[in-house]
Every structure is written in structure tokens, then in C-alpha cells.
Amino acid sequence: MRFYRKFLLIFILFLSTSFFYTKDIVKIIYHGHSCFSVITPKKLSIMIDPFSKKLGYKMPRIPTHVVLISNEHYGHNDYKDVVGVPIILHGINKDGSFNKIDFYLQDVHIFNLPSYHDKVRGNQWGLNSIFVIDIENFRIIHMGSFGSFLYKKELNKLYKPNILMIPVGGFFTIDANDAYNLCKKIKPDIIMPMNYKTEVTKDLPFNGVEDFLKLFPENKIFHPKKRVVKFNLDKNYGKGILYLMKYK
């Protein structure tokens, strides 16, 4: 009898850690600036662009398996306070050159594309890494501190993702108008603006998200009620819907 009880407990544990992920739910949490957590159906936790405490936002305390760093500026590369012992994937090398990534783990494929942080071929702010996260047939693109333009070949690789995380604040990156025009070319289902001025970063020389919001009709803007937003891998969420994520 004890053997069967033990077997039953093991079987229930197996169900809870394996079968429940077949609900195909991806969770996305916005932490502020350009930092997001993406949690896959198999509970793999990916954090993108963790910021330094001196930026002003509260550092998230989420156990993380993989960290993606788009560039080596302090608002994007402070992985030392990330909870856990994650794999760190730097899109830019210490010498400032591009670091090509083609990474597989569980249900995820991550690769990156080189780009510029500014409009003068990186001479002002350096290079930037655009990360593409494929979770089965669900694609998330994080543009990092993108500040330049894309050629047709690059646009083809980024075309029609499920979610596009894009900077809109200007000065350090593209501004609201450039971001809007890029969204029209990439044609994502969902747009998540990032890297803009808030009450936390009010002393930094970039703009708020308001200029970007003005470019969208009200029926294309969604305000999630919670910080954790869930997406079903197989659900159609429409085209060009702006999600104004909460960071607190």
C-alpha cells in the first residue's frame, strides 16, 4: 500500500511540473525601462535588459534561468542582482563588437541581430543587439536600445512577430515617430513600448510615452490591469494592438 501511495505522489508531482504547461501560456512582466521577464509554458524564466539600481526602478526579485543583454549601458546590463544562477547572453562583447547568439533551451530558441544604438552607425552610443525569442510558434522581439534603421533583409527576419518590444523615448534611441513607422513595417500583433521617461526617470533626457500613444486610435490601445500579462500561444490577439504595460 505504501508503495502505491508513494507512486501516486510521484505521479501527481510529475503532472504538476510537466503536463500543466500544455496550457500554452506565456507570461510577460514589465519591470520598467527596457526590462521584461518572459516565462514560457515550461516555466523557463527569461529576463531581458536588467537595469542598475541607480536608474531608480525597483529591481525585480524573480528567479531567472536566462538573462539577455542588448547593450552594455547601465540601464540594460546589471545582471548581478538577478535572482538565481542564470545563463547570461551578452549581445555585445566587452570590446564593443557584436556577439552572435543562437541559443536553444527547452521550448525556446533565442537568436539576435546586430544594429546601431544611434543614427551615426554606432559612433555615439555603440552597437545594439536585437533579440528574437521563439517559443514554439510564438515570436517575441525585443529591440533593445535600437536607435537607427533597418535594411529590407533585416526587416524580413523580424516581420510579423506576435509581440514587439520597442523603445519610443528618443535621445538614446529612436523616438515615437520612428518607432511608429518601424511598427508599420514590422507589422506585429502586439506592440509594447519601452525605454521612455516616467516618474522614476524624470531627470533623464528622453521623452515620455505620450507622443507614441497619440499615434494610435483609442481602440488600438489596451491597458492591462495587472503587471503579469498572459498570452495563449494559439490565440489571435489582432494586429497592431498597443499594450501599455504597468511597471509597478
Would you state the torsion angle of the CA atoms of residues 7, 9, 14, 16, taken in this order, to the nearest 10 degrees?
A: 160
Q: Which domain, by its residues, includes 89?
A: 23-243
Instruction: Classify residue 68: in a domain, yes or no.
Output: yes
Instruction: Classify residue 1: in a domain, yes or no.
Output: no
Instruction: Classify residue 225: in a domain, yes or no.
Output: yes
Which three three-digit cell numbers place residue 125?
552610443
Return the pLDDT at 22. Answer: 45
Strands 163-167 vs 190-194: parallel, antiparallel or unpaired = parallel
Return the pLDDT at 181. Answer: 96
Instruction: Classify residue 61: in a domain, yes or no.
Output: yes
Instruction: Classify residue 9: in a domain, yes or no.
Output: no
User: Count of domains in the chain?
Assistant: 1
Return the pLDDT at 29. Answer: 97
**In sequence order, what DSSP letters do the residues of 65-104 get, joined into one string?**
SEEEES-SSTTT---TTSSS-PEEEESB-TTS-B---EEE
pTM (2 decimals)? 0.89
Instruction: Classify residue 7: in a domain, yes or no.
Output: no
The SS3 of residue 28 is strand
Mean pLDDT by 10 residues, the chain (248 residues): 43 42 83 96 96 88 95 83 94 94 96 83 80 96 93 93 96 94 97 95 92 96 95 91 95
CATH of the domain at 55: 3.60.15.10
Return the pLDDT at 122. Answer: 63
